[in-house]
Each structure stands twice: as C-alpha cells, then as structure tokens.
Structure 1
C-alpha cells in the first residue's frame, strides 16, 4: 500500500512547495508594483498610504492609481492562468489554451461589436462588456466544439479549427473597427492589444466575481481533471463521467478567459504559458489550478509593472506578454511530435 501511495504523495508535496514559493515571490512583486511609479514610495510610506495615512499625493498614487491596477492585474492573470491550465489538461495538449483556440478572439469580437453598434446608435450598445465577452467566448467555444466534433475535442484537429476561427474572428473585429468613429476605434484598438492602462475598481468587480464563483468549482473538480489525463475507459472505470466533466471544465475555462478578456483585453499568451510553467514547477502530469492561477497573476503583474515603468511611455501589457509568449509558442510547436498528445 505504501508503494502505491508514495509516488502520488511526492508530486503533491512538490505542488505545495511550488505554490508556497510562487506566493512569496508574488507578494514581493506586489510590494514592488505598489512602490514604483512616477515617484518611488519607500516601504514605510507605502504601508502608511495603504492604511490611508501620510501625504495626500502619496495616498492618492498608491491607493487610487496603483492599487486598482495591481489588483486587476492579479485577477486577470489568475483567471487566464486557471483557464489555460484547465483547457490544456482537459484537451491533453499544451497548445490548447483559450488564446490559441479562439476564445479570446470570440470575446474580443463580441465586445468590439457592442462598441461598434453603440457607436452607430444601435439598441444593444448598452450591453455591459463582461456579458458581451462571455457571450462571445461561449459562442466561439460552441463553434469549435461543433466544427471539431469528429476530433473528440482532442488532438490536432481542434487546434486547426481554433486557429482558423481566430483568423476569421480577427478579420471580423478589424472590419467592425472601420465602422466606428476615431475615438471609439482608438479605444477599442488599445483594448484589443491587451492593456491595464486607466483601469479602475469598476473593471475589477466582474473578474473578481467570476474568480470567486468559478475558481472554487475548478478546485472541486481538480481530481476529475487528473482522471481525464487517462483514456476515457479508464476514467469511467473510476466513476468519472468523462463527457459531462470535460464539458463542465471547458465551460469554466471559457468563462474565466472571457471575463479576463472583458477587463483587460486579450492579453496574449498568458493562458498558454501559465499552465505549462505551473506543471513544470510542480513536476506533475496534471496542471494544478491554484499554481496555474498564481503563475498567471505573477506573469501579468510583472509584465504590466515593466510596461508602465521601464519605458518613457506606458506600453500595453499585451505587448510584453506577446514578446515572451510568441517564442514559447514556437518552442512548443517545435517539440510537439506528430500523433502524440502531451499536456
């Protein structure tokens, strides 16, 4: 009995260790992100400002400007990370992340459509951005499932369908941008790049609600997610309803990715990279949702902090994540072997 439990126990200890280390690093980065800006805020002044004490300009810079941006970076990164980890695990493919499969493109297209229709005086222009993003993401996922049905939602077929759908939705989004006025087009173009500039507490709320509801559901289904790494016959023998579980986990991933997209735009490659980094840090075959979420939060926060402080002007966070994620995507494509699915 001990021999059977030992191999399972050691990887789980690695997961706890990786979560602990990542959490500590994330706390350090949060402190740094709250301290840097137009002026450096020393640690004691930062602590006082967070409590509402100290110079008025320091309190404003920390609490009203930097803190909402840091919180939304953490929320968006965690949502993308969990979504990427779930989709890659369920579909058993390291490339099967929401941004590659077209979920982000679907959410973006729906949001830009709402902006365009509202700019033209249409009746649905008042649809909240999170609802539009959710509808677009779920519609894209349903389209992928219908078009890749013969591929059983696994293998290379679903990737090809996702890439084709992304191209089509991106073209439609670009066309919609030509229909709106210059101001709305510029605003939408910055958002499509993936940006946290000028974000407020209002932008944080939908993502936080989504995380509060969907992240616990992902944790509850974590054991089911591990069972889906095996063949369906094996998982069914353990009492797992594979079809229903797979659909439920994919819906959770799609909703998280869509809500994150509604808040910050389609921040490129965070969902793709986070899950794979989490799996390698934990040295386990599955992708732990908590670790994937922490990794995504760390990636987005580091990228956004560098984007707003490293250059004389603020870059959209999606620019830096794309610079990191694109080479990693090429690496995954190079190491992927034909007719073999890996997580």
Structure 2
C-alpha cells in the first residue's frame, strides 16, 4: 500500500534528493557527531598544552590565520602536524580493525594480533636498516611486508576455506616469529640506527612532519574511500560466505580487496609512526557498543579510533610523569581491554 510508513525498529533519518534516497540510523549519526566534537575539543587542548602554554583563543586565531610569529609557529608548524597525524592515523587504524573484525566475524581480528602490523613493521625496518629510505620508500616496504605476511597467513590458514579462528591462530604464531625477526634485525644493526629503530618501533608520533601527514593522509583518504565502497559487501560477508554469494557478492574478490585495504591502512600508519598497537582492536568494538548497531560500521570505528589515538598521545605527552611513545599508552589501555574481552568470551562459553 502506498503512503504507509515502514517501521525499521529504530529511528532513522531519510535524506531525499529527487529520485534518490538514503536511509541513515539516527543513533550512529548522533554518536559520530559527538565523537567529532570530542576529538575537536581534545585537539584544541593538545594544541594549547606544552612547555609554552597558549590560550584557546590564540589557538583558534592561529588556525584561522589571525596569529603570526611565535604563536603561529608553535601551533601550526610544531604541534598541529602531531595532532593531525594522531587523528588521521587513528581513523585509519580504526577502519582497518573494523574491516578485519567484520570480515572474519571475530572481535579478536586485530592486524596487530594476526601479524599484519608486525609484517608491515618488518618491511619498514628492512628499508630503514638497509637503505635508510624516505617516507615513500618506508610506505612501500611496509605495504610489501604486510601483504607478504597476509599471503602467508592466508595460505597457512586455508583449508576448505578460510575460517576466522584458524586465521587468527596462524596469525598469532606468525606474529611471534616476526617479533623475533625484528629483534634480531635491530640487534645486528649499528648502535645509533638500532636505537632509533627500537624507539620508532614502540609507536611514536614524535618525528611526524607535515610531509608525512600530507602523503600518508592522502593515501589514507583514498583507502578510506575504497573501504566505504566495500562496506556493503563487507556487511553481507558477516552473514557467511554462502549467504553473501547468494546475494550476488563475489566472495573471493571482495575478501581479497578488503585484505588489501586493511593491510594498506595499517602499513601506511606503521611507516610513519611505527606500530601503534590495539587501536585497531578496541575502536571497532567501542564504536559498535556506542552506536548499538547489529554489526561493525566503518564511520563510528574511524571516529573512535581518531579520538583514542589523539587522547592516548595527549596522555603520553602531558599527563605521564615523563613523555612516552603513544604506543606504550595504547598497549596499556588495549591490553586491559583484551584481557576483559578474553575473560568475557571464556565466561560465555562455559
């Protein structure tokens, strides 16, 4: 019957333009808006805080071009690249985790746990130790390392199809092997290079420049757009391979594309800042609980990841007794969350 309203079971926003209409769940939209405001407030706080304190009015004036001299240099040239990197890299890690957790239908499917982050770190580490390459070369090495690791994990886990639990188990074993390889590479390097590589491997935004933010951010934006294009078939894969195939999804092609996008997102971040652990694990699950969606959605995961990475870096730089790499804070927070997640899963299975 025409003129009737369809009850979707929850409040929705319908955007219409001529013959096209888009239906959006209201709660995820509100959650994303709140996360954006929280991230903006945290960003202003990070730009204000440091050895040279700056007021919020001066920060906003510097961002809009109203300040010159020392205040402009501190805000725009020194602090803003770090804040922008935390936001962009956190969003990339959040989406990467969402892709793997949705595709494998497992909340433990984190690129760091299943070895893809370690593979990217190995590739970038080889570039650092062998050729002392540029950021573009680091990105290439990290992507190749991550993709090689993904291929090995996929082949070892493939037995009458790829199951999420088997892939995670194989990834954990390969991750431990790559950690040992990375340690051996650092021990064999010259002392100064080894110390720099070890500090970078803890996950740090200290050396991030505008060049890395622009180049890495451009790559990440393209990858996020590709992830958005793949979001619908990704959600269909959550129903199972057979159900997705019956709806017209080319399962092998879509899964391969998702793996490439997820690994490339992780590798781009790793090349700039080293492996920042656990953002990919925590952000999608927090986003799903905040948005109360049936599955994992990309936009809330991206905003949660951006906020988590920026907040962790602020804690590492301004609240900790001494400035720390952001990766140490994310390991502490994410490790606690991982323990809680494992405890909950065990209790549910007993």
TM-score by shorter chain over 0.5: yes
Q: Distance in 2 between matches of 1:324 and 1:26?
A: 18
What's the secondary structure of 1:212's corresponding residue? Answer: helix
Q: Is the 8 A contact 2:47 2:80 kept in 1?
A: yes
Q: Distance in 2 between matches of 1:313 and 1:337?
A: 37
Q: Distance in 1 between matches of 2:129 and 2:314?
A: 31
Q: Distance in 1 between matches of 2:49 and 2:319?
A: 10
- Corresponding position: 1:298 with 2:298: no
- Corresponding position: 1:58 with 2:81: no
Match of 2:82 in 1: 69
RMSD (Å), alpha carbons: 2.3
199-208 or 94-103, larger mean C-alpha shift: 199-208
Q: Is the 8 A contact 2:47 2:83 kept in 1?
A: yes
Match of 1:158 in 2: 167
Q: CA deviation at 1:198?
A: 2.8
Q: CA deviation at 1:285?
A: 2.1
Match of 2:37 in 1: 24
66-75 or 48-57, larger mean C-alpha shift: 48-57
Q: CA deviation at 1:312?
A: 4.9
67-76 or 153-162, larger mean C-alpha shift: 153-162
Q: CA deviation at 1:66?
A: 0.4
Within a 5 Å distance, the mapping from 1:94-173 to structure 2 comes to 94-118=107-131, 128-150=137-159, 152-173=161-182
Match of 1:220 in 2: 229
Normalised TM-score (structure 2): 0.90
Q: CA deviation at 1:201?
A: 0.8
Match of 2:91 in 1: 78
1:248 to 249, 257, 273: 257
The unaligned stretches of length 5 or more in structure 1 are none
Q: Distance in 2 between matches of 1:3 and 1:175?
A: 64
1:201-260 Cα deviation digits (max 9, x unpaired)? 122133212222111111122111111110222222222222221221121111101111
| Structure with the bigger percentage of helix | 1
Q: Distance in 2 between matches of 1:107 and 1:238?
A: 34
Q: CA deviation at 1:150?
A: 1.4
Q: Distance in 2 between matches of 1:126 and 1:258?
A: 12
Q: CA 1:125–1:18 in 2, change beyond 3 Å: closer, same or farther?
A: closer
Q: CA deviation at 1:118?
A: 2.8
1:88-114 Cα deviation digits (max 9, x unpaired)? 000000000111111110011111112
Q: CA 1:3–1:324 in 2, change beyond 3 Å: closer, same or farther?
A: farther
Q: Distance in 1 between matches of 2:213 and 2:84?
A: 7
173-182 or 152-161, larger mean C-alpha shift: 152-161
Q: Is the 8 A contact 1:92 1:154 kept in 2?
A: no
What's the secondary structure of 2:163's corresponding residue? Answer: coil
Match of 1:13 in 2: 26
Q: Tell me how many residue pairs correspond in the alignment.
A: 336
Match of 2:20 in 1: none
What's the secondary structure of 1:101's corresponding residue? Answer: coil
Q: CA 1:206–1:5 in 2, change beyond 3 Å: closer, same or farther?
A: farther
The structure with higher relative contact order (CA 8 Å, sep 6+) is 1
Normalised TM-score (structure 1): 0.92
Q: Distance in 2 between matches of 1:236 and 1:339?
A: 30
Match of 1:231 in 2: 240
Runs of 4+ in 1 over 6 A off after TM superposition: 1-4, 124-127
Q: Distance in 2 between matches of 1:179 and 1:125?
A: 21
Match of 1:257 in 2: 266
Match of 1:211 in 2: 220
Q: Distance in 1 between matches of 2:265 and 2:231?
A: 16
1:2-32 Cα deviation digits (max 9, x unpaired)? 7975137658222112111111111111111
Match of 2:16 in 1: none
The unaligned stretches of length 5 or more in structure 2 are 13-23
Match of 1:283 in 2: 292
What's the secondary structure of 2:204's corresponding residue? Answer: coil
Q: Is the 8 A contact 1:130 1:259 kept in 2?
A: yes
Q: Distance in 1 between matches of 2:61 and 2:136?
A: 40
Q: Distance in 1 between matches of 2:134 and 2:43?
A: 36
Q: Distance in 2 between matches of 1:278 and 1:126?
A: 31
1:49 to 62, 72, 90: 62
2:275 to 266, 275, 291: 266
Q: Distance in 1 between matches of 2:232 and 2:135?
A: 41
Q: CA 1:140–1:256 in 2, change beyond 3 Å: closer, same or farther?
A: same
